[in-house]
Amino acid sequence: MSSKGIKVDNDLKTKVDTFRERITGEAENLVADFFPKKLLELDSFLKEPILNVADLKEIHSEINVKVPDPIILNNSHDGLDVQNARKRKMEDGLDDENCQDGPKVFVMPGGMIKSNGQLVDLIERVKPEIRTLIEKCNTVKMWVQLLIPRIEDGNNFGVSIQEDYQRTVTEIDEKEYISLKIIVSELRNQYVTLHDMILKNIEKIKRPRSSNNEALY
């Protein structure tokens, strides 16, 4: 194979042609079979009870968040504050050798807050769908690019922190739930759009003309 002085090894050409045929077969199968099944699958997912909670209180998790004591910032250069700090260390049974200076770390009084189990399960179901859509779109994109003919001269391709911690956590859970439902809906819509657009333009995609390049992209 040669083009304007560029020679390609016959063995490499055969392997590249095999790769192109494989991508073509995968992409055509996506359009004919995978996309229709996936959009119906996601449509059914959207109708499941987990994504149709009428009262968002149902997705709230059991939380017991105590409001921490206010942090009082003292002037470290004040000699009195240093004496008070040393006094507190002694009362707690600590001395200067066992205590190290460093940045203050904010710790919730009740310990770490557990994640909302329902939302975690939902996220684990949605994440693979997002990854799948990205991978399948990349396959279709490569397929279309491989079908584009030689480019002719002149053508161009074109929270805030609140004092009421309990309320904040429940609000975040509600927003996350709504966002996940929207994501699933968008995933389904993407499959619908891809399937419809490719079928309507299948002839142009399979037999592209240079004049149609810009229209396709």
pLDDT, tens only, 155-187: 444 444 344 445 555 665 666 677 778 888 888
Question: Are 100 and 143 in a shared domain?
Answer: no
Q: Could you tell me how many residues make up the chain?
A: 217
Question: Are 89 and 145 in a shared domain?
Answer: no
- For 30, the token pair is 């996506």
Question: Are 132 and 37 in a shared domain?
Answer: yes
In terms of pLDDT, which residue wins out, 104 or 198? 198
Does residue 2 lie in a domain region? Answer: no
**Structural domain harbouring 140:** 13-68+115-216
Question: Are 128 and 30 in a shared domain?
Answer: yes
CATH number, domain of 54, equals 1.20.120
Specify whether the backbone of 111 is left (phi greater than 0), alpha (psi in -120 to 50) or beta.
left
Q: What is the pLDDT of residue 192?
A: 85
Q: What is the pTM of this model?
A: 0.53
Question: Are 146 and 50 in a shared domain?
Answer: yes
- Final residue belonging to a domain, choices 58, 80, 105: 105
Question: Are 46 and 17 in a shared domain?
Answer: yes
Q: What is the pLDDT of residue 162?
A: 41
Question: Are 198 and 95 in a shared domain?
Answer: no
Cα Rg of the chain, angstroms: 30
Does residue 142 lie in a domain region? Answer: yes
pLDDT in tens, 55-91: 877 777 766 656 555 555 555 555 545 555 555 555 5
The total number of structural domains in the chain stands at: 2
Q: How many CB atoms lie within 10 A of CB 84?
A: 12
pLDDT in tens, 97-136: 555 555 665 555 566 667 777 888 888 888 888 888 888 8
Instruction: Name the percent of the chain in helix, strand, coil, to the closest 5.
Output: 65, 0, 35
Does residue 1 lie in a domain region? Answer: no
Does residue 45 lie in a domain region? Answer: yes
CB–CB of 195/187 below 8 Å?
no
Question: Are 169 and 210 in a shared domain?
Answer: yes
CB–CB of 137/191 below 8 Å?
no
Nearest to 30 by CA among 214, 147, 197: 197
Task: Kindly tell me if the per-residue pLDDT of 37 is higher than 50.
Answer: yes
Question: Are 98 and 125 in a shared domain?
Answer: no
Does residue 126 lie in a domain region? Answer: yes
Residue 48 banded pLDDT, cuts 50, 70, 90: confident
Question: Are 98 and 150 in a shared domain?
Answer: no
Question: Are 86 and 168 in a shared domain?
Answer: no
Nearest to 87 by CA among 98, 77, 96, 78: 96
∠ CA(147), CA(35), CA(197), 5° rounding? Answer: 55
Question: Are 77 and 127 in a shared domain?
Answer: no
